[in-house]
Structure formats: C-alpha cells, structure tokens
Amino acid sequence: MNGGRPDAEKEKPLPGNGSGRVITIQPVTRIEGHARIAIHLDEDGNVSDTRVHVMSMRGFEKFIEGRAAEEVPRIVSRICGICPWQHHVASNKAVDGCFGATVPQAGLKLRELMQTMAHINDKILHFFFLAAPDFVLGSNVDYSVRNIMGIVQHSPELAGKVVQMRHRGQMMIEKFSGKVIHPVAVVPGGFSRSMSEAERVEMLDGSREQLEFARYAMKLAKDRIFSKYDSDTLSLGEIRTGFLGMVGIDDGALALHDGVLRLMQADGSFHEFSGREYTDFIGEHVESWSYGKFPYAHAWGEGFSMDPDSPRGIYRCNCLARLNVADRINTPLAQAELEEFRSRFGRPVQSTMLYHWARLIELLYACERVVQLLEDTSITDPRVRDEVWPRAGRGVGCVEAPRGTLLHDYSTDENGCITRANIIVGTTHNLAPINMSVKQAARSLIRNGHVEESLLNRVEMAVRAYDP
Amino acid sequence: MRLTVAAEWLNSCAGCEMSLLNMGEDFIACLRILSFVHMPMLIDHKYFEPMGEKIGFEFPEADLGIISGGIRNEEHLAIAEEMRRKCRVIVAIGTCATHGGIPALINMFSNDELFRRYYRTTVATDAADTPAVVVPPLLDRTYALDEKIRVDVHLPGCPPHPDHISAVLTALMNGEQPRLPTKSVCDTCPARREGKGAVQKMRRYTRNPRHQADKPLTEMKCLLENGLLCMGPVTRAGCAGEKGEAPQCIRARVPCRGCYGPVQKNGNQLLDMLNALASNGIDIRNLPDRQAFLRFSGAHGRLNRPGWKTRDRQQEETAGPESR
Amino acid sequence: MTFEPKILAFTCNWCAYAAADLAGTARMQYPTNIRVVRVMCSGMVHPNLVMEAFQHGADGVLVMGCHPGECHYQDGNVKARARMIVVDQMIESLGLAPERFRLFWCSSAEADRFVSAVSEMTDRVRRLGPSPYHQGVGLSGETKEDLECASR
Amino acid sequence: MNIELMTLTEVERVEGELGQFTVDLRQYPRFVDMDRCIACGECAERCPVEVRDEFNEKLNIRKAIYVKYPQAVPLKYQIDPVHCLEITKGACGECERVCPAGAVRFNDSEKLVSIEVGSIILAPGYRTFNPKGISTWGYGIFPNVITAMELERLLAASGPTAGQLIRPSDGKPIRKIAFLQCVGSRDYNKSSHGYCSSVCCMYAIKEAMIAMDHVHDLNASIFHMDVRTHGKDFERFYDRAVQRGIKFHRCRVHSLEPAGDSGDLFFRYITDDGKQVKDEFDLVVLSVGIETPPELSKLARCAGIEMNADGFAATSSFSPVNTVRPGVYVCGTFSGPKDIPLAVVEASAAASVAAARLSDVRYSLSRQKLFPPERDVSGEKLRIGVFICHCGSNIADVIDVEEVCAYAATLPHVAYVETSLFACSQDSQDLMRQRIQEKGLNRVVVAACTPRSHEALYRETLKASGLNECLFEMANIRNHGAWVHSNEPRAATAKAKDMVRMAVAKVGLLEPLSPVSVRINPQALVVGGGLTGMVAALGLADQGFPVYLVEKASQLGGNARHLVRTWKNEDIPSYVESLVARVKEHDLITVHLKATISSAEGFVGSFRSSIQKSTGTMTVDHGVVVFATGGHALKPDEYGYGLSQNILTALEFDKLHALRDDRVRNGRSFVFIQCVGSRIPGRTYCSRVCCTHSIQSAIMLKEEDPSRDVYILYRDIRTYGQREELYKKARESGVVFIHYDLHQKPNVMLNEDRLGVVVWDHVLHEPFKIPADVVVLATAVVPHQEVRELARYYKLPVDSDGFLQEAHTKLRPVDFSTDGVFLAGVAHYPKPIEECIAQAQAAVSRAVTVLSQRWIGLDSVKARVDHTRCDGCALCVDVCPYQAIGIEVMEGDRRKQQIAVNAAKCKGCGTCQATCPKEGINVAGFTYRQLSAQIEAALRG
C-alpha cells in the first residue's frame, strides 16, 4: 500500500511479549460492523492476549446535537442498517420523553408490531445468512465457500426458502410502513399512519406464514445443528458473566418493546430498573485501543475487568441474556421451547454458542407476538398519533434490539432541539464479553504456535454468536 | 463469464447491503451470475490472508467494486484507494458513498468536539483519553467517495432501492451504462399538487397530515402544500423503485427528508429548497436547524463547521492570501 | 501587479442593462472590471447562478433589478430580494465576505446609479482583496473543490 | 417591403383630390442600377475624380461615384453627373469596368413617372442656415470659424478626422472652443429669421459634451441669449453640462477677430456680473439655425399647400399635420423647427391622419415579406459566425477590433470571423447573409452595440439567410465597452474579448424556436378624457376600432377646459366643445365618466381591464391601451401664494381675466414670475409651456391697456420655434423682461398695502423693487400621482419626475417597452396643445399597427418546460406573476404530474426558472445552462 498506512495500522506486538507474533483477523466477517481481532502470541506460540478492536466511529451522539428532536428518529436509524427499526423506535420513545408526549394505544401497538416484525427478519438473516454457513457447511470448509453462496450451492431449496421468507417479511413491513430499511413511520407521539382493516387481514395471513416458517426453522436447527453441538462447541468462547435484558413490568416475561430492565448477576440475582435509571447501574469504560466503549455494571461496585478468569462488572445482553433474565414467555410455542431449553441448560445459561438456540426461540416468540398483535382488531384504531409540542426535557428510550438492550438518552432545549445525547446500542454492551470470548476461544484453539484458517474462523464464531 | 465483484462498506451502516439482500429472488439469481471475491458481511475474505500475518492489504482483482459508505478515517481511504486500483468499475452505492449521507452531519463539528463529547463528557462514560492505539485516525471530516477516488457509477439512496441495485448490476453485467432516475421524488409522488402559494409558513412535523388509511395516496394533498417541509422537490427520485406506488416516506404519509441526495449530482438541497420556499414567499422561521436540509448531502464541503466562516475576513486581517 | 477584481453583474434587461446602455450613450466612464450577464428580470437569477459566479472566481457579484414596484414583470425584483437571503446564507457558509455580493436597484434612466454601483463595488472588492476562490490566488485544491460542490 | 423608395426624385405636379391623387414625379438618373449594386466600393476606389464631400460639410473628399454616408438607405452608389468624366467628357468609364456587379449605367436618363396615391405626406425637412458673408461671424473668412454641422462631422467617428478633435484648417488640437448661439435664428437683422430654431441650444450642449469626451480638459463656452432646453430630460442634460464645467455666457457676441497669425480667434463679451472680457479660442462654432430651402416653395406650390411668413408649411394647432389641401399632410421641420422626438411624433401623426381616410382600403395593396424556408440545423455541428463592428470609430477608436477578431477565431466552434465598419448597414447585412449561407454558419454573434436597439435587425438578417432568428447573440462592446472605457483601450479590448467569449458560449447553447402568436382583440382602451384622450379616441374610432374612453372627472376636456387661446390665437373652448360632441356622438366610442382603472391583466392583443365607477366595477377586453392621463398645474408653496388674493397661478389669472375680475381689470402693475416649481432641485424639468403662456397674457394686458406695467421675471425665455414672434411682440409692446438666477429668486413682499416683488437688477447690479397689483406665478406642470399605480397595472415605467417613460426618447416617443400600450400628451411631458394632438394622433397610428392585424407575433422569450427534467413538483406554479403555469396530470397509473405553460400569458420573466431546483423550466434564450455558460465564460479569462 502506498503511504504506509496499513503498516502503521498493523498492530505492534504488545510490550514484553517476546516473539512479537500477532495474528490479525480483519475484517471480522459475517457480522455487522468494522472490527479487527488481534491475537498476540508469546514466545511459545501460545496466546498471551487478544483484542477485538472497533475500528470506526461516526459520532451520532455528537452530530444529533442541535437537530430538532422530532427529526432525530429518522437520523439515528442510520446507526445500523440491519436493525434500523430498533433505533427508530427507541429514539422516538426518547423524544416522546423529552416532549412529554403520550402515545395513543393504536400507535403503541403499531410501533411494537413493526419492531417485532423487524426482529423476525433480523433473526432469519443472522441465523441463516451469517451464522449458518459455519454449521451447515462446517467451520472448517474453505472460506471461499463458507458463506451464503455456499449454502445456495449446497442446499438450494433451503436457501431459496430462507431468502424468500426474509424478503416477504421485509416487504410486509415496507408495504405498510413505506420504508423497511431506515424506517420513518414511527413518529414522536405515535405512528405516522393508521392501519386499515384490509391491511390487518392481509398482514395477519403473512405473519401466520412466518410463524410456520419459524417452527420449521426451529425443527431444522434442532435436527441438523443443535443436536450436533458437542462439548467443544458448547465451550467455544464460554465465559461467566451477568446478563441484561428487558422483561414485562408486571409479569417478568420476555419483552422486546417495553418493560423494565433486569440486570442479573451470574448467580441469578438481579436488579430491576427503568430505562431512565440506567446510569445508576451502568457505566461505560474506555480503552485506548478501540473506538467502541465498554459498558459494565458499575452498580455491582466491582469495577471493570475483561479477564476471562476473573471478570469484573461484565454482563451480556442479546437473546441469550433476555431468555436468562425472563421468567417466562407469554406465547405458547416459545414458552414450550424455553422450558425445554432451561431443562437442558439451566438458568442462567453461560455457553456462548447457545445464543444461536436462544435466537430461534425468540424468533418463534416474535412470530407468535406479531400474530397476537394483528389478531387484535383495535390495532386499526385511526387515532395513532397525538400532536407533540417541542420543549425542553429529557427522555430515555429503551427497547430490546436483536443485538441487545438499546438505550437512547436525549435532552432538549426549549426549542425542542437536542442538547445532549447518549446512545448505548446492543452490541456495545457485548463488546467486553466478546473480547473475553475471543480470548477464551483463542487460548483454547491456538497452542504452540499452531494456527490454521479454520481455527481462526472458530475464533470468529465466538464473536458471531453475539451477532454484533 | 462470471463477473467478479468485490464489495466493501466504509463509513456506513449495512443498510445498503440489506437492500441488496432485499432484492429477494433476484439476489439469488445474481449470486448465480456474479462471483463475489470480497464482501465482509457475507464472505470470509480477509485483508491479511491467509493467516493474518502479512503486511499490507490484499485485495483481489475484480470487475466490479461496490463501495458503500463515505470516507471518514485513514483505513477507509486506504481501502477505497486499493479497490480503485483493483477494480475495473467502481460503483458508489448509497448516499453515504455518493454525498456523505447522514454521517456527514459530523462535518458540522470538529474531531476534537466529537471526542470531547464522546469519551469525556457523556453521561455514564468514565472519562478517558481518545483511543489512539491501532484504531485508524479519523480524517478531518467525512468525504464522499468521489472526493477521494474516481467513481464510475453513482447509485444514491439511503438505502438505494433494490430495483436500482438490480438495474445497475444487470446493466454492468451486460456492459451497459446503468439508467437510473434523473428527476425528483415528486416524479414518483402521486399526491395532488396545485401550487405552493397558499402556504404561508412551514410548520414542524409534530402532527400527522390528514389522511384516511383506506384512501389512496392520489387523494392526499402534497405534503409541502400541507405546510410540511418535504424535500421531495429537491431530492433525486428512486425510493419508489421501478414500479412502486409512491415514494417510500410518502407511503408512510411522512414528508421526504432527501435521502437520495440532490436531484442533480452536484445540486445543493439546502440552497434549492430555501430558494424554492423563498420564491414562494413561504415563511420558514418556524423550522429550526435549516442546515439539516443537507443532512444527506453534507460531504463535498457543503456542511461546514460554523467556525470556518470568516476565511475572507481572516484574509483581510492577515493581509495576505491564506494558505491553509 | 495590482489586483484587478472580477465582478459579475446580472442586469435586468429593462432597467440596469438599459441604464448601462445609457451610460454608454452619455459616455460616462466606469471601471472595466465588470462583466454583464443580461437577464430579462432580476427574478430570473437562480441563487445558484450567483454561487456559480463565485465558484468560477468572481470577486464580487451584483444582481441589478428595477426599483421595487417598478418591475417589468410585477414583482420579479421582490422575489429576487427574497431569494437573495438564500444567497447571503450560502455565501456565509462558503466563508466569503457578505460584501462581495450586492443586490441593487436601478431604473433604465439611472445611468449614473449604474455607474456608481459598478464603481463602488469595484472599490469595495478591491479593498477586500481577491476572493479565496479567485483563480490562482492562494487557494488550495481542497477549498476549491469545497466551493465547487457547495454550489453546484 | 411595402415602402417603395424613389430616390433622386422630385414632385412635379399633384392632381386630383383626397383618395385619388395623381402625382407626377421627376426622377433624376443615378447611373447605377440599384438592384445590382452591392455597395462594395470598388468603383469609388478606382474613380479618378475627387469632389468635396457635401455630407462632411466639404471637409473631405469623395469621388464622383459615391454613397452619401455609410448608413445611407438604400446603401447604393450613385454618380455625380456634374463631375463624372465619362458623363461630362466621355473619357473614363473606370467604374463600369471594375464593377463586379455590372451595375453602372452611363446611359441612365431622367424619367417622368406618374403615380396614383390616396394621401400625400410632405416631409422634405430643412437646411441649416448658411452664415457665409455675414461679417459679424467671419464665417468663410476665418478658417477656424465653423458651423455646428461641421463640428458634428469632426466629432463623428466616420467623419473627416475620424473623430479626432483637430482644426481642419491646420490640424491644431482644439483645447478651447466657443459656441455662438442663435446664428440664423431669433435674428431679423442678419438672417431675417425671427423664429427660434428650437434645437440649437441642445445640440450645442451635446456637441460640447462629446467634444469633452474627446478632449477631457477641453475649455468649452456657450454664448447664448437663453438656454432653451425645454424637452424631456433636456434640462437634466444641461445641468450635467454645467457640472462638467461647460461655461454658459448670457450674451450675444457682436464681432470676431483673428488673434494674430495663429489662426485662433478672439472676441469681447460681457460677463454675467457686467464686466467686459476679451477671450481667445482655438475654434468658434456657429450654432446655425434651420430654415426651409427656397426650392421647397415650388413643392408647396405644386402640392397646393400654404406656407407661412417664416417659410414653413402652415398648419393649425388643432390639426398639426394637416394642410389646407385635404389629403396632403406635413410633418417634421417642414412645418416649423422641431427636434427629433416631435418630428417622429408628427411623422406617426401624419401617417395616422393619412391612413384614417384610407382605412376602408387597408391592405388592398400591401405585400408581405417572404423569408426563405428555415434551415434545419438540429443535426449540424456548431458553426458559429462572429461579426465584429467598428461602428465607424465608435468602437474601433478604443477597442482593438483586429485583436478581438483574432481572438474570436480561436474560440471553440467559431467557424468564421469578420469585421465591418458598420455591421448594421445594409451592405454589411447583405454580406452577413451571404456569409451565413456560404460558410454554413448555424449560430451568429454580432459584437457591436446593444441588443435592445439592434437585435431585431440582425434577427431579420438571420431569417433572410434561412436561419432561425433565435440562433443569435450580441456582445455589446460599444455601449458597455468602447464608450464607457474610452481612456482604457487595453482593458476595454480585454473586456470586449470576454464579452465575445460570453456571447459565443451562450450562442452555442441557443436553440431554434418557433414564433408564438396571439389573437388581437380589435378594441382599444383610452385612459384619460382630456383633449389628448379625445383626439386619440376619435382617431381610433375613425379608423373603425371600438374605443372605451375612461375619464376620472365628470366631464370630458381635462385641462383644455381652462385654456383660452393657443399661441397662434386659435380659440380653444370651441375646439374642445366640438371634440366633446364628436366623441359623444361617435358610435364606436363608449365613454365612462367618473371612472378609473382598478386593475388590469393581459398582454398585447388581449388585455382585460377593470373600470371602477361609483356604480360598480366592469371589465372590458381590449387589444391596446392608450395613456392620455395628462397632468395638472402645480399649486405652489412659495412667493406668498395663498397669502394674498392677488397672487395667482397662471390658470387662475386666466379665469379671473375671463371673468373680468376687478383685480385684473383694475390692475396697473402685473408681475409674472416664471419657473415656479420648474427647473429647481427636485423638479429638474422645464414645463415648456409657461413662457409662451405668460407672454401671451402679458401681451393681452398690454393690448388692453398699454399704460399698464407688465413685468416678466424669467430665467430663460423659452418661446421655442415660431413662438419667438410672441416674445418679440411682447418686448415691442413694452413688457419688461427681467432675468433672475435660481440662487437669486425674486422676493414677493406681502407686508405692505401693495404687493411688491424684489428682483436683482443685472443692469444696475442692485435689488430692484417692483410694485405689483397682481403677481402671476407660472407654475410647473406636474404629472398625476395616481399614474404610478396605473402604470403598475400595465407594467409601465415611470421616470423620476413622475412622467410615463416611453420606450425610446427619440425613436419611439409614443410606445412603451410593453407591447400594445401607448402614451400621448402631458402624461409624457408638459407640452402645448398642438403637440398633444400630434402625439395623440401618433399614438393612434402606433395602436392601429396592432389593431389592424388579426394575429400578432410575440417574442419567443417564453418559459418552456423541459419534460425530461420537470416532474411537476409545482414549486413554480404560484411564483408566476401571470398565472401562466398550470399543472397537468399525465395519463397512466402513477398519476405523474407536469407543468404546462400558457405561452400567451407568459412574459418570459424567468421567475419560474429561478425557482426550479432541476432546470425543469427555462426561458428560451436565457436558460439556466445558457446563463451558466456565460458566467463561466465571463470568469474564465
């Protein structure tokens, strides 16, 4: 490369680690985002340290300062093109808080409907497009076929079905809400449009089809993947941490759209708090080698450490965390699966690779929940938005995104423009655990200087499980 | 012969890649014709093959280089330059790549301001120095791709409509110049328009325009004529796709914010919109933060930090041409 | 070498252009720095044309129309005035001194006003010095690019 | 096309009567076939005979075969049979041999021609007074005494010295120059012309100003009796001359003497403060007056018209272009000394009156101009022709035309470049046409003067050469170049190059456009029911066009109702009454009294105006509108007006006089104060009528009782033209004229039992107090305030004095730049009745050019929608000031919308273009791209 930039970028060996051998995995693939894994080996070729670097930052928290708050939900969706709905909804909830808005019931239902439908598509994407190649094709096949194209070659029928289901799910959202990627339909005070009866009926049909697919996917995964999980798989990237997730206020059940946050320690004890109180429980740590920050549970009073052997303040979120913190799931099929899952792995479950399983249980839940919401005819109430009045205030919007608990925290001035913002996205919560899992995986996989591509892919699989 | 494709995302969000997947069955069809040699989201090709120990990026040659995202740090720049060298045709996909996109809003701030807020003055953050180890340094601002490398095909959109991604890929496979929409969003908007003369002033989007869910959009009055800022007239069409019923935001009864960038490649959405409103005698004082009319097209020096304004003055003061 | 500013004037056919003709007939003298683009009305001048002028290195730009109330087309000049607020804003965001741009009214009979406007603008711009976008005057490639894109 | 030019022709006999004249003409031989001559000049080049050039006042040489001057129409050579060797001696024939066109005809002979016509207009013009032989001025004796006409030629770029200000006698640069006014005017002794020639003051000032352009430190003095700058905007020009340092001396020079052998001249004169001064000059210019050449008396005789004592055609104030013989009309200086605007007005008036009687047979003999079929240039590569004009030396003196020419040839797509001495001359036009055809040019740039005056001419040339007229652009290197940068030839040349580059950049983007035409509603609206309005209404109605006449007062007649006699002593009230009666009786005139216009819309051919009356508002549709809104006398706020019953305005005085009021009847001493409210800062103009009016009144007072004391306090007496006779008569009858200056205005003393007026006595050099029984204030004529609003409805310009601004002061004195709207009377400028009538008739003439057509072609400068860009966003719909833009819904399922422009309503202002964010709508000839190309070209150099 010209200008020597890449050389400068190549990581230098950590001081005091003799051999100076550093293995760089970049980009970390089949994830969303820009990360680099650096595995530092000691003189014997054993892992001395690992780091997962977040390589870029865009600065949303900064550049939404000064923007009119009602415009912000349409801006922050661009934080993530895979889960824009989650940001869109969380941001609107935060702006509602700033402006003191109340949202009509139908508006709330439409918001939850859209957000949950987005969860479905996201899970299909992650499981089948990003993670499945490792399992369906095998983590050790050549990297050039270990991908969705490989799946298309290997199982064209499955691939066709998956692509079609996801596409249909996306189009359902788009048809009703206009825009599926970087949505605009959720607005401060509610939703931008109401649902007609005809639309409800049509969407209900579509969502029942999705539910069928979710059941098929669950069966398929159990038959072909989870049944083959061996102890190596279960221990890949396994670490012991706490968990964060949202549950229903009254019933402690799995909740994606609204509820209270439950911060569980590894021993199963937990704090419950509203999103607005997050700063009392969560702090964000900064490391010099990553643009990403590392949230941790400062409420536990133990500080921050990513040492896999004695982690401090580390918790995880995303689907496995949500299942761990939830007491139950309010839909029958998912509840049945949860019961089976718990009976096999206990609570809380620490095995990183079980994120995949938990994800499919959540897929089932999401499909069931969408059917529930659409069966309720009150969702077609034309009153979907109340007028909002820009003013000074603070609001914290919180939802469960596919990748974990999502927090948008805004303050506004009298003109209703943003003065300060903090956003903690799902993957950010998991940055410390990911680092730990990578270290754990690398240590167990790389011994005496022996490295192969498939091993490195397995290290990446530990990252991929978190669906960052 | 199968066309080889290398794809990268730079200062982006993966939305463009999602849109690619949203081509649905066309996507599968494409996979049969295109041979992806690099695409971090879907395939495992790395920069430092095979064992992550080589020095320097290794990019495969490809017929087609598809890049989403603008350029924000030195690594983005290096990747973009390397792709330019290795790819016959570079397609800038998405408004971030063509005009800077939403992330170019940061151009209204300096990196110092950004870091200060991000690492030192955000609630809940344990204040610390700005990360500087290994992570690539940021450039002074966000750049659109064509500010740094030559771009052959511009496909704006946030995200670009799958129909047009498909159109571009198909055209390039057939060795043709892609044909993309050239008019504004209004071209695809069925809302009834009569003229803006009745609008006295713009109001903020704090309540919905009147509509009935079961009535077709053809019966809806133009949102701009409803007194809502709609960037449709100054924004490139495309979001409605090839056959879509209406622009996407309009389908949600939400006014356009300009995500396809200016109608003409080098247009200025802020200037054009302010001009159109002023020409119609519309009072825009109600709208705060008018700079954000450029929220999708702030690269190319359009959005700037407030501090750089007085270059002319500085020049006057220092009595000589500035050589910054 | 002394700095010879480049000034571009958009002149309405019915007033300022005619006044300029009249200034000729009356053999009035004024600086040679001005280049005139004849338009049918000041209301015909798209703000972006002004930006283009600056982009191409104009040190000053004049838009000259009829006195308010005397527009040949009712109120094109009033619309021009409304628009020029946009120009002011854009000029500011380009980092140019606002004095480099001026909207000026002048009737077809007021050759003297035309002459004094041109002379005054020339003096003013001469004092300000070259525009940062004036060709070859201490301008880095980057800034020029900025400007080119900031206008169209 | 419908004008047959018969040059070198004289009228021999006029037989018959109105509608069927037979005119015998004598046509002298030209010896050159006009159809063949291409005015290439080869013949004159070779002609061995040199003759003094009459056109250039014999200051230089022409040949025996020649054209009179470069802009001559028709531009064809002629042979001077008196000097031609071949004709006189049969010993040359050189021209015949070299003529490439074979146009020389030595055997040409005198012909007698007889033509049949319905009306006859006589416009034979004048000659200047010849001062030769009158010793006072030494003209013909001292070589450096010249006439103003000679100076005019010296100053002319195409003149004998190519515009250099040097003495023709010895080439000495001229640094000091004197103009002597009233040479052959206002002078019974030396010239037997008592009248004022009306134009000499103004031309002297103009020549002095131009001379100063040539020589910046020129010392110029004008010796005059009165400065008569009574025309529209003339006073302002006079003020500017004073500011510029031109010296004005109020005195008559009685003799000139040579200053030794230097060729310089000196004379003595009295300064304003009474001192005698002797001064020397490089050049003395005689401001010669105008007179009717004696041979015109023959014309008058055979035409059967009367001439007056001054040698001008006799006309009445009420029918200023009619003669005693019906069907024979006069205009211009043949009927009295006058300036260009008035001459042009009279020309139109004569046309109108002549046509009125022939309106039944309109178009029966007319022919239409045919253009060759238009060449389709759509597939052609750009081939731009650039034609650069020297404009004599107007341009070429300052700008290096050859350099511009060479530069133009380097510009992209320029296929051909050529220069010409006068691009607008007939031969240049013909050549241009030829070049366009032979070089296959498809775009044309002319670098010359202003498109505002000359674009139409060149467009015709394009059409004549088979090119669409829109493929043309001008670079105004004269008005915006040579003339305004005359001291900076290098910079002016550089600027001219830029201008040519801009024009070339634009012309390459121009596209052929087809003309737009609209239907003409053959009705007229006349606003103002005064004398002017009535004459206009009758003129239109007499030609068969229905007229709506709108008057805000309760009766017709306007100011004329307050006037008694014209300066020719004609009775005004009876004339007004007859007009009112004719208007009321006319079938085609609808009169609306106590009515005003409250709004208007539309354009030439189809206006719609709202007439507001106490009973309500009605709308009328009409094809043209004539403004005859008049003016009124100023109510002064000085000279004690309003404080004494005996201080009156001129009109009040007239009324009291008519009523035989005691104040007037018993008054012994009358003081007239002139220029009350005129020629002052803030109201610069001269009201034109007041001098004559006051003098008429003064004479009347004296005639009634010669023992009365009558004083006229004046700044300049402006009894222009034959009115001078009145001035003379007043002086003879003992009226005392006392001059005052603006800075020493008279004082009216109110505090004593009898009024008194104190004025500075220039003879005694002390204040002089005049006891006065009546003080008459000659107040200014001022325009109506409400005209401004009216002007807004029809988009008409109003000048800084509040008068309506015509399209061109000299050449289009009754038109506006807006088509289909015309003006006449005091709304234009203060003027006496005969001029109002002439202007009303002129307005009729101009209006009829529109009304007499069923369709009229409109300017192609219209907004056009670019359907490849417009997407119907509708931003432009409501910005259009003419509601010319609508939305159309296209066929198809997506409900596409697009803009549609109503071309008849569109005026091409481009507000839409400047609003559109995507170049979806553009004004033809001024599209965004075209302007953008000009900008880039302007700044690229």
> Can you list the domains of chain A with their CATH numbers?
1-59+434-468 (no CATH), 102-238+351-387 (1.10.645.10)
> Tell me, what's the pLDDT at D260?
86
Q: Which residues pair with D385 in a beta bridge?
A: D416, D444
Q: Do B and C count as touching (3 or more CB pairs closer than 8 A)?
A: yes
For D616, the 3-state DSSP assignment is strand
Q: Does C81 touch chain D (CB under 8 A)?
A: no
C87 contacts on D by Cβ (under 8 Å)? none
* D442 phi and psi angles, rounded to 5 deg: -125, 5
Q: Does D929 touch chain B (CB under 8 A)?
A: no
CB contact under 8 A, A58 and B106: yes
Q: Does B6 touch chain D (CB under 8 A)?
A: no
What's the pLDDT tens digit per position in D671-687?
999 999 999 999 999 99
Say how many C-beta atoms besides its own lie within 10 A of residue D754's C-beta: 11
CB contact under 8 A, B310 and C95: yes
C9 to chain D, minimum CA–CA distance in Å? Answer: 10
C27 to chain D, minimum CA–CA distance in Å? Answer: 5
* CB-defined contacts A:B, below 8 A: 325
**Residue in A67, A129, A159 closest to B292 by CB:** A67
> Tell me, what's the pLDDT at C150?
42
Looking up tokens 């004289």 gives D10
Q: Does D909 touch chain B (CB under 8 A)?
A: no
Both structure tokens of B16: 């463009």
CB contact under 8 A, D936 and C52: yes
Mutation to test the B interface, candidates A36, A56, A157, most B Cβ within 10 Å: A56
Q: How far is CA D329 from the centre of its chain?
A: 20
B219 contacts on A by Cβ (under 8 Å)? none
Mutation to test the B interface, candidates A78, A196, A459, most B Cβ within 10 Å: A78
CA distances from D558 to B180, D565, D567 (A): 69, 15, 19
Q: Which residues pair with D187 in a beta bridge?
A: D193
**Residue in C100, C138, C150 closest to B322 by CB:** C138
Q: Is the pLDDT of residue C152 over 80?
A: no
What's the pLDDT tens digit per position in C103-150?
999 988 788 889 999 999 999 999 988 888 776 443 333 444 444 444
CB contact under 8 A, B57 and A1: yes
What's the pLDDT tens digit per position in D736-767?
999 999 999 999 998 777 899 999 887 778 89
**Residue in D868, D897, D915 closest to B193 by CB:** D897
Cα D846 from Cα D536, distance rounded (Å) = 11
CA distances from D571 to D336, D518, D579, D625, D720 (A): 21, 45, 13, 30, 21
What's the pLDDT tens digit per position in C70-86?
788 878 999 999 998 88
Q: How far is CA D438 from the centre of its chain?
A: 38
**Sequence letter at residue B27:** F
Q: Mean pLDDT throughout D455-482?
A: 94
Cα D390 from Cα D447, distance rounded (Å) = 9
Mutation to test the D interface, candidates C10, C40, C66, most D Cβ within 10 Å: C40
What's the pLDDT tens digit per position in D78-105?
999 999 999 999 889 999 998 877 889 9
Q: What percent of chain D has pLDDT over 90?
A: 74
Average per-residue pLDDT for chain D: 92
Both structure tokens of D446: 């002319």
CB contact under 8 A, C27 and D495: no
What's the pLDDT tens digit per position in B199-225?
989 999 999 988 777 788 888 999 999
D478 contacts on C by Cβ (under 8 Å)? 24
Cα D40 from Cα D427, distance rounded (Å) = 8
Cα D624 from Cα D630, distance rounded (Å) = 18
User: For chain C, which domains are there?
Assistant: 7-150 (3.40.50)
For D235, the 3-state DSSP assignment is helix
Q: Does C148 touch chain D (CB under 8 A)?
A: no
Mutation to test the B interface, candidates D866, D868, D875, most B Cβ within 10 Å: D875
CB contact under 8 A, C40 and D494: no
**Residue in D868, D870, D877 closest to B195 by CB:** D877
**Residue in B147, B270, B279 closest to C83 by CB:** B279
Given the candidates 3.40.50.700, 3.20.20.80, 3.30.365.10, 3.10.20.580, the CATH classification of the domain at B3-173 is: 3.40.50.700
Cα A278 from Cα A424, distance rounded (Å) = 10
Residues D658, D564 contacting (CB under 8 angstroms): yes
Any idea of the CA torsion for D464, D469, D472, D474, to the nearest 10 degrees? 80
> Tell me, what's the pLDDT at A8?
36
**Residue in C47, C95, C151 closest to B311 by CB:** C95
Calculate ∠ Cα D454-D456-D461, nearest 5°: 100
CB contact under 8 A, B134 and A287: no
Any idea of the CA torsion for D893, D895, D901, D902, to the nearest 10 degrees? 80
Q: Which chains reach chain A with 3 or more Cβ–Cβ distances below 8 angstroms?
A: B
Q: Nearest residue on chain D to C25, judged by CA atoms? A: D479
Say what the pTM is. 0.72
C115 contacts on D by Cβ (under 8 Å)? 484
B316 contacts on C by Cβ (under 8 Å)? 97, 128-129
**Residue in D869, D894, D919 closest to B190 by CB:** D894
Cα D452 from Cα B268, distance rounded (Å) = 35
CB contact under 8 A, C132 and B322: yes
**Residue in A31, A192, A422 closest to B122 by CB:** A422
* A115 phi and psi angles, rounded to 5 deg: -65, -40
Low-confidence ranges of chain A (pLDDT < 50): 1-10, 15-18
Q: Nearest residue on chain B to D916, judged by CA atoms? A: B276
CA distances from B47 to A25, A33, D861 (A): 8, 15, 61
Poorest-pLDDT segment among C27-41, D644-658, D787-801, D861-875: D787-801
In the stretch 160-179 of chain B, residues with CB closer than 8 A to chain A read none
CB contact under 8 A, B135 and A54: yes
What's the pLDDT tens digit per position in D469-498?
999 999 999 999 999 999 999 999 999 999
Mutation to test the B interface, candidates A113, A130, A286, A298, most B Cβ within 10 Å: A286
Both structure tokens of C74: 């009712």
Cα D68 from Cα D53, distance rounded (Å) = 8
In which region does residue A29 sit, left (phi positive, over 0), alpha (psi from -120 to 50) or beta (all else)? beta
For chain B, what are the domain ranges? 3-173, 183-288
**Residue in A149, A181, A185 closest to B15 by CB:** A181
Cα D732 from Cα D709, distance rounded (Å) = 13
Q: Is the pLDDT of residue C62 over 60?
A: yes
CB contact under 8 A, D881 and C40: no
ipTM of the complex: 0.90
Q: Nearest residue on chain D to B274, judged by CA atoms? A: D915
Residue C96: closest CA among C127, C124, C131: C131
CB contact under 8 A, C97 and B301: no
Cα C91 from Cα D788, distance rounded (Å) = 36
Low-confidence ranges of chain B (pLDDT < 50): 309-310, 313, 315-324
Q: How far is CA C79 from the centre of its chain?
A: 16
> Tell me, what's the pLDDT at D577?
96
C24 contacts on D by Cβ (under 8 Å)? 450, 476, 478-481, 483-484
CB contact under 8 A, D485 and C109: no
Q: Does C108 touch chain D (CB under 8 A)?
A: yes
**Residue in B52, B109, B135 closest to A456 by CB:** B52
Q: Which chains reach chain C with 3 or more Cβ–Cβ distances below 8 angstroms?
A: B, D
Residue D470: closest CA among D809, D925, D75: D925
Cα B115 from Cα B121, distance rounded (Å) = 9
Mutation to test the D interface, candidates C6, C32, C49, C108, most D Cβ within 10 Å: C32
